Structure 1
Amino acid sequence: MDDGLILNLDVVHDAPSKVAQGKKGGRWTDRLKAKRVAKRKTRPEAPAPSKSDATVSISDVRPAKRPRKEREREEHDQERAGLAAAPAGRHPTQVISSLFTSNPKIEKPQPQSASNTHAKPSNAPLDSSTFTGSGLDPLIVAHLSSKMNISRPTSIQRAVLPAILPTLEDPAARDVFIQSQTGSGKTLSFLLPIIQDLLPLSSHSYIDRSIGTLAIIIAPTRELAKQISDVLEALLKLRLRAQDESAEKSSVPRLTRWLVSGLLTGGENRTHEKARLRKGVPILVSTPGRLLDHLQNTSSFNVGKCRWLVLDEADRLMELGFEETIQGILKGLDGRRKLAVQATEEGKSMDVGGWDWSRRRRTILCSATIREDVQKLAGQTLTNPMMIKAVHADDPPLDPQADPLAEASAQKFTPPSQLSQKYVVVPLKLRLVTLVALLRSLLAQSQSRKGTKIIVFLSCTDSVDFHWRLLGGTAMDEDEGASRSASEAEESDEEESDKDLGSETEGPKPPKRQKKTASGEKIEVKSALLPNTSLYRLHGSLPLQTRLASLKGFSAVPTAKSPNTSASSILLCTSVASRGLDLPLVRAVIQYDLPTESGPTEYVHRVGRTARAGKGGEAWSFVAPSETEWVKWVQARMQGEVKGADKKDGEASMALEGVSMEAVLRKGFGGKGNEYEERATEVQLSFERWVLRDKQNAEAARRAFLSHMRAYATHPSDEKHMFHIRHLHLGHLAKAFALREAPTALGSNKGSKSKSKPKSAAKGASSDRKSRKHIRNPDDSDNEHNVADAEKRMEKVVRAQGRLTKKSGKIVSSGTDEFQLAGGYDLEKIVGVRT
């Protein structure tokens, strides 16, 4: 039938006239009938008129137009649900994806049968030991107990002090290799013997600072060197005479106060350092590079009589590539000693009194792990060494006939037994809000007036800077419709209320004086999401004064003299803070980004910033769904070959306890049922609005995303099955950096706008391969945004030096294009940017 043929055609709603032209044959009555049928199909169906009202028209049944307020409310609901509300007739330019959809399924963690909450601390002081019984001088013992509140030595100090303390029979014994758990007190184990050895020299009236440097302590980082220097200064304030007046007072020799300490680190004024070295620094703490610099270039640096050399954190020294520097330091010390001995033999020495030149320099090497490179360093620096470990009643004694380094290298490196280790599997797009929820829950659990200290480890410097500004600049205020910048957040005089997240309104507070360095750079920000908490940052690209000020502010404890100090503080940092730092009151360590180097060793060093000296602590690790195998992998490497009945008490501490992401979000954001999802979405949208508000914020987010990808690509080959860029959903990962779209390429230039939708790593594998040539050191802050400025400065240099040339006494044009000349310059040397 003709009618059936026409009725089965696909009718286009906006062009009904074209459908009617589909049939050209037949009678004109058939074509007219077909046109009427097509017109009825395109017309909206109206309800059938009732018999009581036969005058109902088409205009009466037309749907009413929605009011404007109702449309705006619907658009707001769509945005909150994760949908972009586009104007009518136009395609949406941005897609705001939902946080709680299209996420991979995550298995719920199984509860751990064995809990280590009440495990016996493995690095706590031993009750049965005393400093006096170890042979320490009574003056030092009294100072430790009265001024430093240290009454008993830790396990490693109890093992080291009797072996290292000099005796009359053998004042300069064998070299020492110290291995111990993190947070066990290795610093005092080598500082106390040094002071004990140099203190008797104070009885000679002819000895003063001009004697030179008698002890050198080398630390891998500036922060660790500063911390050792602070502990040393506190020790050197001891009283030089006993407090009790006895009848034998006249027989006690009078001691002079000539022992002072000094600190040499990069970034300081070398002229001032030379002046201090010229006066004399008996005990010196330094980083390797600056020490070698002064040994080679400062003639007034007197180290000919050096008695002690300590290499702290030897494994970190080797990781940072200081092997050749240490070799140069050893040659410089030996050379200066030979010159001093030669001058004494020839009678050219100006020293008053005799000096025992037969006594050799004693070297102490400290390391938590004994890898192959550490053993190599020990073989080059130590002579006839003895191995010293922490004393445990259950540990079998070392075989004296066996090689101590080889035997110790086979032993596992574990965190303290009292440390509570947890992990949470988080989808990539939920990482940012889960971090905020975890921080809020940890801060809320603090019941101490001194507050809580939390350390968050990230993979690169750009990520640290971005999260520091993001948390400090975001405001939860829907009335304003925008979030404040980091600078506005820092200079604000009032605390923002957080009603949507369930926090109590504290009301306006008096203006607080912001913490700044001498150069005016801010070191502290406040967050509306984390009330009464200060946020600090620490990484290798910050100036030295900023780094030290950040550590000082993070470690500060509120007192009556400093009421403006926040009760709690959070430190965002890279792995530069993972070694040696003893920060008080650190309740928890969060590894937001898992270590990219050294595997379980770096993990143990990071979590070792808490649970120090027998105290408790928590360690949290964020694991992506594609990285779940890492949990079993790190547990197996920490446990080593210990199995079954061979396990000791506290061995369960090496098991990581899984916590569900939903539990963390519910505890951090509160609410009934699934109300935490709505609150988490509000927090995520506030972060995204902060990024979209300012071009600098957007550029910082893109830069952090790209740097994080470069850092992720640096995982070693034996970890690629767990950490690989192709396993990541780049669009979801961009959500963790408050970006609504992932940058198109890892090497995108400044200001480039991405037009691609979020892709999985499988679809974007080609772009990943192309971008590998752009991968650089993740701890560098020199990124793509510096290239444009570098080119401008390069043009100025070339125009000033290259275009004009002196010829026959006149300045004439060289006739060479400036960009041709630029090829002959080293861009890195001119502008300091690595291309």
Structure 2
Amino acid sequence: MDDELVLNIAEDASVGPTKLASKKSGRWTDRLKAKRVQKRKTDQPDHHPGSDDDDHPRPAKRMRPDIPPPATKAPAMDRPALPARPPTQIISSLFSYNPQVEAPIPSAVQKAPSKPSNAPLTGSATFADLGLHPLLVAHLQSKMSITKPTSIQRAALPIFTKPSSEDTSARDVFIQSQTGSGKTMAFLLPIIQDLLPLSTHSYIDRSIGTLAIIIAPTRELAKQISDVLEALLTLRLRPDGEQENTESSTRYTRWLVSGLLSGGATRAHEKARLRKGVPILVSTPGRLLDHLQNTSSFNVGKCRWLVLDEADRLMELGFEDTIKGIVQGLDGRRKLAFQAVQDGKTFEVGGWDWDRERRTILCSATIREDVQKLAGTTLRRPLIIKGLDKENAEDSPASKNDNEPATTSTEKFTPPSQLSQKYIIVPLKMRLVALVALLRSLLAQTQGQKGSKIIVFLSCTDSVDFHWRLLGDSSMDGEKAGHAESDEDGADSNADESVEEEKVEEENKIAARSPLLPGASIFRLHGSLPTPIRLASLRGFSAIPSSKSKKPAPASSILLCTSVASRGLDLPLVRAVIQYDLPTEGGATEYVHRVGRTARAGKGGEAWSIVAPSESEWVKWVGGKMKGDITGENSDSDKVNITLEGTSIENVLAKGFGGKGSEYEARATEVQLSFERWILRRKENAELARRAFTSHMRAYATHPSNEKHIFHVRHLHIGHLAKAFALREAPKTITDGKNKISSASKGRGSRPTKPTKHDVGDAEQRMQDVVRAQGRLSRKGGKMISSGTDEFQIPSGAALNSLVHGY
């Protein structure tokens, strides 16, 4: 019987031994059970003192002598009201419990503005002097306002227009130059120069097929090249002032048209265009190989030119096998076409120079090992052409750049010399408000310049979508946010329907606006967006305000993007580039490609990098990678060290939010709270933030092993990082649908668990373990080789298991 369970019996003479005295007592489970039983008795309405249930009352506890007796319990009417229960989520301060950040030391020497390293030449060199066709020269000057060539154009064009020998004209070309130096024109102008004389033959039209193919790694870059090509092909086919019916004039037919294959149209529509004939084709690798294999009407037997633009990016994205397939497909189609001519199975009028072989141009900003490998398989006795830095350099670099790309090059890739590079060391929990403050200060500096643009690079697609939604949908109106919070529990079916409608509208929305960034339109760009939205976002961001346009362009534009926008894109009027997340792959090369979106063609620009306290060593590391690459103006032997200028977080917040003294702290806190209220407004918002946080952690874990001493998950305070995603606490578990991973943070300052022996290893070893477990490795020559499967294509959660263990 429960009434006989008595514990903690006082040794009193008045109390005799009981039946339970001999039993083992003092266990905490028994004490808790006794308390519950006693509480049930006192709570029963029919229980009265002195009844039969009080035969065995619980003895009073002996008080410790050092503890004063408790005060007499006041009646309920006289007791003050208890305070409200504290919230379940703790709102931590932005400016407390942050790691100590050393203030950047300002440079004692005032740095003089550097001479632009990628500007058009200012000397006497012109396009006409480089052997360019007079019609092209006139078109560049009158329609495109281009009068002077850049250094890489001056070095490359004579190789194609004025070859020194027949041997030189038959060799392939490797073009290496800085970003924004005009590499696109360096290969487009020679192609048009070569095909333009064919327009004098009346028997040549579009049915001749594709004579030039340009391959770009991304859809955005392919569209940009196609736009430049279309602008060049609108040239006048007779000199200005020349009469049409003049017998002595050379007559050209307008048959040169361009086409684009990038996945934006259906295959049937693309096949119809290819069947009609596209003399100059711009394409992404995958779609081009698809048509080479499956479209029989794709006539490429007479192809004269093949251009591989941004070859280093093509290799990074894993297109090596695709490029090999394209080259083999072009060779096979050429053999079939030539065999048909020999067998008399073709009805073409006129002859064709079948002895002339296809010429390949490979463009890359770096000569890395993978690019050297690609050059070795696709180029024949290549000429390396590099941009000339000085006016008095020789016009023809072929004589001194006649090295094979297979040789190791020690030259490093540098950003434009006129680019201003800065960094901010920001505590993790202050990253979000630091980004807003930096954007506000940059927009304030460009109020007088219409059409100024800012690019923000983030680590992953989920992070881009989250920040785009957050900036475009959050409000500083506290009443609105509070109302949304109070209605969360009482949402009805109408609210659910409105949420679904807003979700559909949000997916089709191109630009967003934020009250924190007045006058600016916010766009997003990443590889997971549908092609129409990607192109519309890029078109909207690139729009230049004009009084003639029917649709007015925004005064300022902000583009949130991944590294998909880091290569080759020539976006006009880019004022600054912000690296909110430092590159996870590519190292210093990827950094220079990103900052190369600004300071193009001799114009100025700023590059900002937001660095975590644990990543402060990255500043010296990336500076060392670019150290001593720019030659000083005073002496040929002097080298100018490239350094990043530091700015304190307090200075950025004060400029962005204003106020006197430390008033910016209160304003930054209010901005952070408005973002957190937006997260609490809807479950969809919180899910979006959690997904962005998880994807960011995955991306952070993919830093290569030689950067792990700087970028390591174990160096991060997970709770503080969650606040950068407007989350008041880090997600308890990270899951990939099946496999759950232990909590990343279970309290302030917690760290991931220590990795086990099975978990220790670099990324390559982990990749082999994962693929071996799924049977995707084959035994060849006694060595395990990879099948080319990327780590993030593995459907299991093994890649995620490395997240909290710091890989």
TM-score range, shorter chain: 0.7 to 0.9
What is the aligned partner in structure 1 of residue 664 from structure 2? 676
Q: Which residue of 2 aligns with 1:392?
A: 389
String of CA shifts for 1:392-415, please: whole Å, max 9, x gaps: 229988774973535672111000
Alignment of 1:320 onto 2:308: no
Answer yes or no: is 1:353 the counterpart of 2:350: yes
The equivalent of 1:151 in structure 2 is 147
Per-residue deviation, 1:638: 1.1
Aligned to 1:255: 252
Residue 430 of structure 1: how far off its partner (Å): 0.2
1:694 to 670, 677, 682: 682
Map 1:531-546 to 2 at 5 A: 531-546=518-533
| Partner of residue 40, structure 2 | none
- CA distance in 2 between partners of 1:647 and 1:457 (Å): 37
Deviations 1:278-303 (A, max 9, x none): 00000000111111111111111111
What secondary structure is seen at the aligned counterpart in 1 of 2:567? Answer: coil
Instruction: Quote the residue 1:100 is aligned against.
Output: 95
Instruction: Report the residue type matching 1:553 in the other structure.
Output: G
Alignment partners' CA distance in 1, 2:710 and 2:171? 45
| Whole-angstrom distance in 1 between the partners of 2:598 and 2:589 | 15
The normalised TM-score by structure 2 is 0.79
Is it true that 1:112 corresponds to 2:88 in the alignment?
Answer: no
**1:43 CA drift (Å):** 8.3
Give the deviation of 1:564 after TM superposition.
4.0
**How many angstroms apart in 1 are the aligned matches of 2:353 and 2:79?**
105
- Paired AA for residue 187 in structure 1: T
CA contact (8 A) 2:152 2:183 kept: yes
What letter corresponds to residue 202 of structure 2 in structure 1? S
Q: What is the CA–CA distance in structure 1 between the aligned matches of 2:621 and 2:194, rounded to whole Å?
A: 46
For 1:548, the equivalent position in structure 2 comes to 535
Q: Partner of 1:251: helix, strand, or coil? A: coil
Matched, 1:222 2:211: no
Whether the aligned pair in 2 keeps the contact of 1:136 and 1:196 (CA below 8 Å) is yes
Aligned counterpart in structure 2 of residue 557 of structure 1, from 516, 523, 544 = 544
Contact 1:438 1:668 in 2 (8 A): yes
Report the AA paired with residue 559 of structure 1.
Answer: S
Contact 1:517–1:523 at 8 Å: present in 2 too?
no
- Cα contact 2:155–2:385 (8 A) shared by 1: yes
Q: Which amino acid in the other structure matches residue 152 of structure 2?
A: I
Distance 1:480 1:242 in 2: 65
- The answer (yes or no) to whether the contact 2:121–2:391 under 8 Å persists in 1 is no
Q: Which runs of 5+ in 1 are unaligned?
A: 1-17, 24-33, 45-57, 67-86, 486-515, 777-830
* 2:229 partner letter: L
CA distance in 2, matches of 1:402, 1:256: 38
- Aligned equivalent of 1:380, options 350, 362, 377: 377
Q: Which segment is superposed worse, 245-254 or 136-145? A: 245-254
1:633 correspondence with 2:621: yes
Residues 629 and 201 from structure 1, CA distance in 2 versus in 1: closer, same or farther, beyond 3 angstroms? same
Q: Which runs of 5+ in 2 are unaligned?
A: 1-58, 486-502, 765-792, 798-807
- Partner amino acid for 1:729? H
Deviation at 1:250, TM superposition (A): 2.4
In the alignment, the residues of structure 1 paired with residue 666 and residue 466 of structure 2 have an alpha-carbon distance, to the nearest angstrom, of: 25
Partners of 1:474 and 1:518 lie apart in 2 by: 16
Which amino acid is 2:414 matched to? T
Which letter maps to 1:547?
R
Identify the residue that residue 760 of structure 1 maps to in structure 2: 749
Tell me: CA distance 1:625–1:218, structure 2 relative to 1, closer, same or farther (3 Å): same
Report whether the alignment pairs 1:142 with 2:148: no
Give 1:480 shift: 2.6
More off after superposition, 187-196 vs 441-450: 441-450
Cα drift, residue 759 of structure 1: 3.7
Query: Identity over aligned residues, as a percent?
Result: 66
Check 1:555–1:21 CA distance in 2 against 1; reply closer, same or farther (3 A cut): same
1:705 is displaced (CA, Å) by: 0.4
CA contact (8 A) 1:179 1:367 kept: yes
Secondary structure of residue in 1 paired with 2:96: coil
The Cα of 1:21 is off from its aligned counterpart by 5.5
Matched residue, 1:165: 161
Q: CA 1:758–1:648 in 2, change beyond 3 Å: closer, same or farther?
A: farther
1:293-372 matches, within 5 Å, as 293-372=290-369
Which of 237, 261, 265 is 2:262 aligned to?
A: 265
Superposed CA offset, 1:337-372 (max 9, x none): 111111111111121101111111111000000011
Paired residue secondary structure (2:478): coil
The 5 A counterparts of 1:430-445 are 430-445=430-445
Cα 1:641–1:475 change in 2 (3 A) is closer
Match of 1:461 in 2: 461
Q: Which residues in structure 2 correspond to 1:505-516 (within 5 Å)?
A: none
Q: In structure 1, what residue type is equivalent to 2:539?
A: K
Structure 2 partner of 1:53: none
* Cα displacement (A) at 1:757: 4.8
Q: Is residue 565 of structure 2 the alignment partner of residue 577 of structure 1?
A: yes
Post-superposition shift, 1:477?
A: 1.1
1:526 to 485, 505, 513: 513
Counterpart of 1:213 (choices 207, 210, 220) is 210
Q: 267-276 or 432-441, which moves further after superposition?
A: 267-276
What residue in structure 2 maps to residue 177 of structure 1? Answer: 174
Distance in 2 separating the partners of 1:232 and 1:542: 25
Contact 2:457-2:560 within 8 A present in 1 as well:
yes
Deviation track 1:165-184 (CA, whole Å, cap 9, x = no partner) reads 26697494321100000010
Question: Per the alignment, do residues 450 and 563 of structure 1 end up closer, same or farther by CA in structure 2, a change over 3 Å counting?
Answer: farther
The 3-state SS of whatever aligns with 1:683 is helix
Where do residues 23-102 of structure 1 align in structure 2 (5 Å cutoff)?
42=71, 88=83, 90=85, 92-102=87-97
TM-score by length of 1: 0.76
Q: Aligned AA for 1:526? A: R
Amino acid at match of 1:339: L
Deviations 1:11-57 (A, max 9, x none): xxxxxxx999649xxxxxxxxxx99x957x8489xxxxxxxxxxxxx
Going from structure 1 to structure 2, the CA distance change for 1:138 and 1:455 (only over 3 Å counts) comes to: same
* Aligned partners of 1:116 and 1:652 also within 8 Å: no
| Deviation at residue 452 of structure 1 after TM alignment | 1.6
Matched residue, 1:284: 281
Q: Answer whether contact 2:411 2:629 (CA < 8 A) is retained.
A: no
* SS at structure 1 position matched to 2:508: coil
**Residue of structure 1 equivalent to 2:603:** 615
Correspondence for 2:424: 424
Distance 1:557 1:717 in 2: 43
In structure 1, which of residues 111, 118, 122 is the aligned counterpart of residue 117 of structure 2? 122
Structure 2 CA distance for aligned equivalents of residues 672 and 588 of structure 1: 27
CA distance in 2, matches of 1:568, 1:199: 40
Distance 1:562 1:95 in 2: 50
Partner of 1:49: none
Q: Which residue of 2 aligns with 1:731?
A: 719
Is the Cα contact below 8 Å between 1:534 and 1:570 reproduced in 2? yes
1:316: how far off? 0.6
1:572 aligned partner, one-letter code: L
Q: Tell whether the 8 Å contact from 1:474 to 1:484 is kept in structure 2 after alignment.
A: no
Change (3 A) 1:437 1:322: same
Q: 1:771 to 1:695 in 2, by over 3 A?
A: farther
- Aligned residue identity for 1:224: L
- Distance in 2, Cα, partners of 1:199 & 1:484: 64
Structure 2 equivalent of residue 791 of structure 1? none
Counterpart in the other structure of 1:412: 412
Q: Distance in 1 between matches of 2:483 and 2:534?
A: 28
For the 8 Å contact 2:475–2:481, the answer to whether it is kept is: no
Tell me the amino acid that sits aligned with residue 517 of structure 2: L
CA distance in 2, matches of 1:43, 1:394: 96
